[in-house]
């Protein structure tokens, strides 16, 4: 086998997609990049979309405990290549939504603040402003990994066509983590120029030369620009001074602000893999033994990320960027949202869905466009199945990408990772019980895959969150997650 | 407000539309029915604070006082307006064509962000870089870069320090909206000298680095604006706001932006220390074209943010096979904005009566067709409307078509808007899993929705807010006037009681023949007048009212009521010069 550049090849970064869409950074992995990867790093990838994985006319895949004795439902056919990697759950209950105090909406649409936190939340005026009662599992795990010495991001939080302000991820009670909707921004902020080749004696790397650059566009944003350190030092001083004059409640906000600025600066300083690393923008440390990444000079052009029609491209870009970030060990946790908790204006205008905006809904009030995903979910019939099928293909895509990357031992990145695809309800009519989950990847042998489990009625989602913490090597002190009343780990996932 | 929540909670609406008696009918959220339901732990329940003690807005006089000041981050729109002024950059980086992931509205119903996320800090960092780099280029090319003016050209080495000091003083005043304190001045000079000497940047690029630092400072990004001196609380425990704070709060409230030169000068010269001085500035500012920014933002968030349903007037969906074409839908934001300007900008009289009853609208060609009048071939024009058919903001297409996204009209939305927005009433959440409304063949909208009255469960709430909704039965789902529906005459009559808020004379009973009649009665009612007082107070204070604000709420109310038709403009000016706005209670844990 010929010797090859250990980084992701530049030509793959830049491919034109679709008429009218500019050049985009399509970051693809290649099985031949195997030697770049450190083996055994555990990673958590969460993918969420709303309005039910099911409709009234499709059924979840049959239960079975061996890949040979159960069959995927037709709408999940795209997952077939990965059946032995799957762990399907049917399903979990969002018990918090019924049990928590206060008044407010109690349907699946309102579950976002609790899906990943398992906590009672504070219902405010609307479901788009409800405030979570504790950290979400992605933030918990990401922060724990950093405390344990990991130098990358806490998490990479992305979204495609998220219009509502309802949030899935929370760094703590009342502290939402806002997803980045713009793949270009994710690229320039977290990836471009941020990947360094580790000083590893005897591992030659191909230098990036200007002649390799075939892409047009703005010069890379240079966060190492010397002035940044002086600027950020000032900002931190100023935040400290500011914190001293405001009241107690406001000090907490300013303290968060200070933490985020510090993270940017620490990124600039190129902190190494031990101790505190960057939790924000800026270069981050690569994992041990990792030699691949994105070329430092790579650039990308912008995509209209606010357009519903671009969702497939946006989602793919975000997932590609997450996989690249995993591969380069820029992050070990990623959360991706497609649509928001209602997705009224999300119109699946691409094949095989091909829905066209039909204008306002004639009958079903307040569901947005008559051919929007929300209205389709309300009708909850065959059109919805078409949508369900497309969403499953997105799960299949991220699984496939992770599986295609191999570490030096020959194991795939999927083997050491876990993918969790969740929804805020069971079908389009808002059920918060029996909500199905697609998991994939054993997380380094922690989960027993190749199974489709029919969970007992009343299984709280908290048990799944505990299992994710344990699988990632970051158990909670209490052995519970969110509300303790919902108990500990859903051990059946381990087999 | 750009592209905020478009999500609609269908079930909540389905609940509100509840047409039949069902087993899932949930218990009221409060002890005394849905009306008592508080949706917020922070006191969002209507006029909870204001109505305490029986001396409400229009009640027995209470002495003025003040609550705490809210430290909050700039809204995206404020950020954009400020960087336009500071740096001449009109690209609206936060709320423009490539908007940041939206900030949520607070319990007040208005966007007033307190916390910050990693995402924002990264955006602030990157946007400061981009904005200042652009401004440096503009300045070098002799183009407008707002207040970003580099004081010296090619200064000698000996001159550089004084030039940098000059820049820090002048740009700092603008960016921090108050003079830069000595310690800050020293730190900013360190930024300059480090970047200039250690890093070898050019003089102008080093000045740019100072500007980048200021744009990431909490003194730019948060409303607080204390300094350069600390406030001294009086014997009543209240601290007067500094003139700089008052200037900033005025600019934020009236312009959704930062002070202009005249306001800074007034602050500098101590000319914001009496109520009369503040009144004069507020009146000047309300007459300025920049006032449109806040007027738009306030009214949009007030009227169209019903929690479960937030209309983005800039993105209303056209309705197929109707006159609500793409051009008509895209014109709604302009219709709304121009109407507000006509009401509040002199010679507009600024009264609630005009806002709620003026029989004219601003239309483009396609909107004119919906009103059934001749419109301009291009652009927008003011058109007079039949005063028996139209009167005020609730009978305009922007409200009637914008507030709902079904083709049929929806009395529930319209009624809720009147009840909860114009009258500040509160309604608890609906029960879960209720059926939708069924239209009978040949039946009218009202007949379909009237079924609410026969359901014990549904009537609990719907008897409260359906009647004001039925007042709008003369308008179909896109706001076209009609006198018949399904070959039957439209019945837009009704009666309902105003919610008991804010200690107004209370319990006004509205008995009306149609929406024009109801709008006229609303404008004249103490409840609707008190409500607009409350809403503006929440907007300008960035928090819910507390008992400490009652005296100032009364001041605003009486200032408005002194003019026939209730002058919202005078009310607002009074609020802006009131104690609740110009004084504050120190926050817990604050060092004074």
Decide if A365 and B587 are in contact by the 8 Å CB cutoff. no
Which residue is closest to A279 within chain B, CA to CA?
Answer: B118
For residues B367-402, one letter each, b for 16 or more C-beta atoms within 10 angstroms of the residue's C-beta and e for the rest, the string is: bbbbbebebeeeebbebebeeebbbbbbbbbbbbbb
* Residue A13: pLDDT over 60: no
Task: Check pLDDT > 90 for residue B386.
Answer: yes
User: Within a domain: residue A207?
Assistant: no
Query: What pLDDT was estimated at residue B523?
Result: 97
CB B557 within 8 A of CB B58: yes
| Residue-level pLDDT at B435 | 56
User: How many Cβ atoms are within 10 Å of B301's Cβ, its own excluded?
Assistant: 21
- Note whether A178 and A308 are same-domain residues: yes
**pLDDT of A269 higher than 60:** no
The pLDDT assigned to B285 comes to 97
Does the pLDDT of residue A279 top 60, yes or no?
no
CB A350 within 8 A of CB A312: yes
Q: Give me the residues paired with residue B310 across strands.
A: B305
Asked if pLDDT for residue A26 goes beyond 80, the answer is no
Give B240's strand partners. B583
Q: What is the pLDDT of residue B442?
A: 78
User: How high is the pLDDT of residue A192?
Assistant: 64
What is the pLDDT at residue B357?
A: 98
Closest Cβ–Cβ partner in B6, B116, B194 for A345: B6
Instruction: Provide the domain limits for residue A238.
Output: 219-299
- Minimum CA–CA partner of A104 in chain B: B429
Residues of B in contact with A192 (CB under 8 A): none
Compute the distance between CA of residue A473 and CA of residue A417 in angstroms, rounded to an integer.
Answer: 12
pLDDT at A484 over 60: yes
Whose tokens are 């996204």? That residue is B405
Q: Is the pLDDT of residue A467 over 80?
A: yes
CA distance B56 to B564: 21
Rounded Cα distance between B520 and B387, Å, is 11
First-to-last alpha carbon distance for chain A, in angstroms, is 39
Mark whether A89 and A181 lie in a shared domain: yes
CATH number at residue A320: 3.40.720.10
| 3 state DSSP class of A338 | strand
Instruction: Tell me the mean pLDDT in the region B167-185.
Output: 96
Q: Are residues A407 and A466 in the same domain?
A: yes
**Confidence at residue A300, expressed as pLDDT on a 0 to 100 scale:** 58
CA B46 – CA B544 distance, rounded (Å): 9
Q: Given a cut of 80, is residue B454 above it in pLDDT?
A: no
The C-alpha angle B577, B583, B585, rounded to 5 degrees, equals 150
Residue A417 near residue A411 (C-beta atoms within 8 A):
no
Contact residues, chain A, for B428 at CB < 8 Å: 103
Last residue within a domain, chosen from A265, A284, A299? A299
Backbone torsions φ then ψ of A272, nearest 5 degrees:
-85, 175
**B232 part of contact set with chain A, CB < 8 Å:** no
Average pLDDT of span B502-515: 80
Average pLDDT over residues A385-403: 96
Q: Which helix (H) or strand (E) holds B276?
A: helix B275-286
A479 and A458 belong to one structural domain: yes
Match 């109690």 to its residue by tokens.
A106
**Mean pLDDT of the residues in chain B:** 85
* Average pLDDT score over chain A: 79
Confidence of residue A414 (pLDDT cuts 50, 70, 90): very high
By the CB < 8 Å criterion, does B132 face chain A?
no
- Shortest CA gap A252–chain B (Å): 8
Same domain, A283 and A403: no
Residue A178 confidence (pLDDT): 92
Query: Cβ distance A153 to A331 under 8 Å?
Result: yes
Residues of chain A neighbouring B4 (CB-CB closer than 8 A): 163, 165
pLDDT for B395 = 98
Structural domains counted in chain A: 2
List, for residues B95-112, the tens digit of each pLDDT value: 998 889 888 888 888 998
CA distances A382 to A74, A389, B361, B589, Å, are 13, 11, 44, 58
Looking at the structure, tell me whether residues A316 and A276 fall in a common domain: no
CA distance A457 to A441: 25
Q: How much is the pLDDT for B443?
A: 78
Q: Is the pLDDT of residue B446 over 90?
A: no
Which residues from A are below 8 Å from B230, CB to CB? 245
Chain A residue closest to B230 (CA)?
A245
Q: pLDDT value at position A199? A: 32
If asked whether residues A418 and A369 sit together in one domain, one would say: yes
Q: Determine the average pLDDT of the residues in B170-185.
A: 96
Instruction: Quote the tokens at residue B13.
Output: 């609406």
Q: Are residues A283 and A312 in the same domain?
A: no
CA distance A387 to A421: 15
pLDDT exceeds cutoff 60 at A382: yes
Residue B460 has pLDDT above 80, yes or no: no
Res B230: pLDDT: 74
Residue A39's pLDDT band, with cuts at 50, 70 and 90, is low
Q: Confirm whether A36 is domain-assigned.
A: no
pLDDT of residue A234: 95
Is B436's CB within 8 Å of A365's CB? yes
Structural domain boundaries in chain B: 11-62+293-576, 75-223
DSSP string covering B78-101, please?
HHHHHHHHHH---S-TTTSSSPPS
Our CA-based measurement puts residue A283 at a distance from the nearest CA of chain B, in whole angstroms, of 13
Same domain, A390 and A310: yes
Report CB contact under 8 Å: A163, B408.
no
Among residues B570, B584, B583, B562, the alpha carbon closest in space to that of B58 is found at B562
Per-residue pLDDT band at B503 (split at 50, 70, 90): low
List chain B residues with CB under 8 Å of A182: 98
CA dist B244 and B178 (Å) reads 5
Query: Is residue B42 packed enough to be buried (19+ CB in 10 Å), middle (13-18) or exposed (0-12)?
Result: middle
pLDDT tens for each residue of B470-495 = 999 999 989 999 999 989 999 999 99
Q: Tell me, what's the pLDDT at A267?
A: 72
CA distance B429 to A125: 10
Instruction: Tell me what the mean pLDDT of segment B346-361 comes to.
Output: 97
Contact B385, B373 (CB under 8 A): yes
Domain boundary among A299, A334, A364: A299
The whole-angstrom distance between B307's CA and the closest CA on chain A is: 5
**Number of residues assigned to chain B:** 592
The alpha carbon dihedral of A240, A245, A246, A247 has a sign of positive
Higher pLDDT, A81 or B13: A81
Flag whether A198 is in a domain. no
Examine the domain organization and report whether A330 and A224 are in the same domain. Answer: no
Residue A54 has pLDDT above 90, yes or no: yes
Q: Are A210 and A297 in contact (CB under 8 A)?
A: yes
**DSSP 8-state symbol, A426:** S
Residue B291 in contact with residue B344, Cβ under 8 Å? yes
3-state DSSP assignment of residue B494: strand
Residues in a beta bridge with B481: B475
pLDDT in tens, A88-118: 999 999 999 999 887 677 888 889 999 999 9
For residues B281-294, average pLDDT: 95
Residue A45: pLDDT band by 50, 70, 90 thresholds?
A: very high
**Structure confidence by residue, pLDDT tens digits, A293-307:** 444 445 556 778 888
Q: Do residues A311 and A281 share a domain?
A: no
Range in A13-27, A238-252, A362-376 with the lowest mean pLDDT = A13-27
Higher pLDDT, B14 or A295: A295
pLDDT of residue B346: 87
CB A50 within 8 A of CB A109: yes
Report the residue from A127, A230, A306 with minimal CB separation from B99: A306
Average the pLDDT over A361-385 and give the result. Answer: 84
Which stretch of A320-334, A451-465, B161-175 has the lowest confidence by average pLDDT?
A: A320-334
- Mean pLDDT in residue range B126-130: 94
Q: With bands split at pLDDT 50, 70 and 90, how would you rate the model's confidence at B164?
A: very high
What is the SS3 assignment for A119? Answer: coil
Least confident of A313-322, B404-413, B562-571: B404-413
Classify B360 as helix, strand or coil: strand
**Does residue A256 or residue B311 have the better pLDDT?**
A256
Q: Give the whole-angstrom CA distance, residue A460 versus residue A285.
A: 37
User: Residue A143 has what pLDDT?
Assistant: 93
pLDDT of residue B251: 98
User: Would you say residue A203 lies in a domain?
Assistant: no
Residue B547: count other Cβ atoms within 10 Å of its Cβ: 16
pTM: 0.82
B228 and B181 Cβ atoms separated by less than 8 Å: yes
Domain boundary among A299, A321, A339: A299
CA distance B523 to B395: 14
pLDDT of residue B294: 93
Nearest to B319 among A181, A232, A359 (CB): A359
Assess whether A287 and A364 both reside in one domain. no
CB contact under 8 A, B7 and A374: yes
The pLDDT, as a whole number, for residue A328 is: 76
Residue A331 in any domain: the answer is yes
Instruction: Give the minimum alpha-carbon distance from B94 to chain A in angstroms, rounded to a whole number.
Output: 13
Residue among A87, A97, A46 nearest A491 (CA): A87
- Asked whether residue A37 is domain-assigned, the answer is no
């Amino acid at each position: 086998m010929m010797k090859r550049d250990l980084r992701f090849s530049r030509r793959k970064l830049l491919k034109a997609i679709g008429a009218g869409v500019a050049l985009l950074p399509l970051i693809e992995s290649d099985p031949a990049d195997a030697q770049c990867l450190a083996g055994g790093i555990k990673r958590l990838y969460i993918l969420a979309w709303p309005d039910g994985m099911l409709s009234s006319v499709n059924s979840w895949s049959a239960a079975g405990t061996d890949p040979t004795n159960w069959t995927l439902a037709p709408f999940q056919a795209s997952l077939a290549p990965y059946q032995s990697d799957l762990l399907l759950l049917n399903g979990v209950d969002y018990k918090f939504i019924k049990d928590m105090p206060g008044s407010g909406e109690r349907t699946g649409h309102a579950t976002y603040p609790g899906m990943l936190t398992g906590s009672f939340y504070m219902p405010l005026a609307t479901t788009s402003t409800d405030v979570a009662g504790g950290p979400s599992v992605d933030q918990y795990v990401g922060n724990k990994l950093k405390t344990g010495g990991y130098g990358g991001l806490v998490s990479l939080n992305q979204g495609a066509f998220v219009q509502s302000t309802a949030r899935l991820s929370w760094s703590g009670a009342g502290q939402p983590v806002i997803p980045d909707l713009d793949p270009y921004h994710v690229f320039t902020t977290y990836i471009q120029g941020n990947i360094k080749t580790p000083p590893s004696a005897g591992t030659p790397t191909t230098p990036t030369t200007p002649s390799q650059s075939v892409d047009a566009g703005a010069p890379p944003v240079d966060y190492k620009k010397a002035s940044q350190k002086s600027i950020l030092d000032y900002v931190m001083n100023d935040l400290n001074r500011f914190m001293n004059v405001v009241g107690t409640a406001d000090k907490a906000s300013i303290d968060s602000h200070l933490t985020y600025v510090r993270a940017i600066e620490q990124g600039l300083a190129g902190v190494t893999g031990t101790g505190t690393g960057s939790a924000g923008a800026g270069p981050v440390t690569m994992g041990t033994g990792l030699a691949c990444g994105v070329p430092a000079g790579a650039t990308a052009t912008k995509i209209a990320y606010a357009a519903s029609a671009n969702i497939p491209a946006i989602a793919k870009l975000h997932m590609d960027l997450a996989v690249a970030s995993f591969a380069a060990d820029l992050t070990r946790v990623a959360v991706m949202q497609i649509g928001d908790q209602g997705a009224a204006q999300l119109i699946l205008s691409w094949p095989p869905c091909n829905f066209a905006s039909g204008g306002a809904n004639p009958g079903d009030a307040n569901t947005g466009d008559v051919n929007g995903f929300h209205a389709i979910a309300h009708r909850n019939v065959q059109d919805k199945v078409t949508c369900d099928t497309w969403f499953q293909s997105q799960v299949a895509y991220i699984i496939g990408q992770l599986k295609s990357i191999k570490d030096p031992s020959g194991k795939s990145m999927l083997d050491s990772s876990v993918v969790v695809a969740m929804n805020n309800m069971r079908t389009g009519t808002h059920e918060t019980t029996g909500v199905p989950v697609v998991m994939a990847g054993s997380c380094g042998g922690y989960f027993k895959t190749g199974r489709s489990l029919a969970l007992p009625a009343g299984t709280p989602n908290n048990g799944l969150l505990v299992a994710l913490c344990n699988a990632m090597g970051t158990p909670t002190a209490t052995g519970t997650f969110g509300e303790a009343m919902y108990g500990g780990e859903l051990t059946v996932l381990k087999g | 407000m750009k592209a905020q929540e478009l999500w609609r909670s269908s079930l909540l609406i389905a609940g509100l539309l509840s047409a039949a008696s069902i087993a899932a009918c949930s218990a009221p959220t409060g002890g005394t029915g849905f009306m008592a339901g508080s949706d917020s732990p922070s006191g969002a329940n209507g006029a909870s604070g204001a109505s305490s003690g029986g001396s409400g807005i229009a009640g027995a006089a209470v002495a003025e006082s003040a609550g705490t000041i809210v430290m909050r981050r700039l809204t995206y729109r404020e950020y954009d307006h400020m960087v336009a002024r500071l740096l001449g950059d009109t690209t609206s980086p936060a709320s423009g064509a490539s908007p940041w992931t939206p900030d949520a509205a607070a319990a007040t119903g208005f966007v007033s962000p307190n916390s910050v996320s990693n995402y924002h800090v990264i955006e602030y960092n990157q946007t400061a870089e981009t904005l200042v780099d652009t401004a440096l280029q503009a300045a070098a090319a002799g183009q407008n870069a707002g207040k970003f003016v580099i004081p010296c050209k090619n200064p000698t080495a000996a001159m550089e320090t004084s030039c940098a000091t000059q820049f820090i003083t002048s740009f700092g005043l603008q960016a921090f909206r108050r003079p830069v304190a000595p310690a800050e001045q020293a730190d900013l000079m360190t930024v300059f000298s480090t970047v200039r000497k250690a890093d070898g940047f050019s003089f102008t690029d080093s000045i740019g680095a100072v500007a980048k630092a200021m744009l990431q400072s909490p003194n730019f990004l948060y409303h607080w604006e204390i300094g350069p001196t600390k406030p001294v609380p009086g014997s009543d425990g209240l601290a007067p706001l500094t003139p700089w704070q008052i200037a900033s709060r005025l600019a934020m409230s009236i312009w959704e932006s930062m002070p202009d030169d005249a306001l800074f000068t007034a602050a500098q010269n101590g000319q914001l220390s009496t109520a009369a001085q503040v009144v004069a500035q507020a009146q000047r500012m309300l007459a300025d074209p920049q006032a449109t920014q806040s007027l738009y933002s306030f009214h949009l968030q007030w009227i169209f943010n019903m929690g479960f349903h937030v209309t983005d007037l800039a993105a209303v969906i056209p309705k197929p096979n109707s006159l609500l074409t793409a051009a008509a839908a895209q014109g709604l934001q302009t219709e709304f904005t121009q109407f507000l300007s006509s009401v509040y900008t002199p010679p507009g009289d600024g009264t609630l009566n005009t806002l709620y009853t003026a029989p004219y609208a601003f239309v483009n060609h396609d909107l004119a067709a919906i009103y059934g009048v001749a419109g301009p071939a291009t652009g927008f024009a003011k058109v007079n409307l039949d005063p028996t058919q139209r009167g005020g903001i609730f009978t305009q297409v922007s409200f009637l078509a914008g507030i709902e996204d079904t083709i049929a009209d929806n009395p529930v939305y319209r009624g809720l808007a009147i009840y909860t927005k114009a009258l500040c009433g509160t309604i608890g959440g609906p029960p879960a899993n209720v059926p939708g409304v069924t239209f009978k063949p040949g039946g009218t909208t009202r007949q379909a929705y009237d079924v609410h009255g026969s359901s014990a469960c549904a009537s609990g709430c719907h008897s409260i807010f359906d009647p004001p909704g039925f007042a709008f039965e003369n308008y179909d789902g896109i706001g076209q006037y009609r006198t018949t529906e399904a070959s039957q005459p439209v019945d837009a009559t009704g009666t309902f009681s105003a919610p008991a808020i804010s200690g107004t004379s209370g319990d006004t009973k509205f008995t009306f023949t149609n929406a024009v009649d109801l709008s006229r009665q609303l404008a004249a009612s103490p409840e609707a007048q008190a409500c607009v007082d409350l809403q503006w107070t929440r907007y300008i204070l960035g928090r819910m009212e507390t008992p400490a604000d009652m005296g100032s709420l009364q001041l605003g109310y009486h200032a408005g009521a002194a003019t026939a038709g209730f002058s919202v403009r005078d009310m607002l000016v009074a609020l802006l010069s009131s104690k609740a706005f110009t004084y504050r209670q120190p926050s817990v844990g604050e060092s004074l």
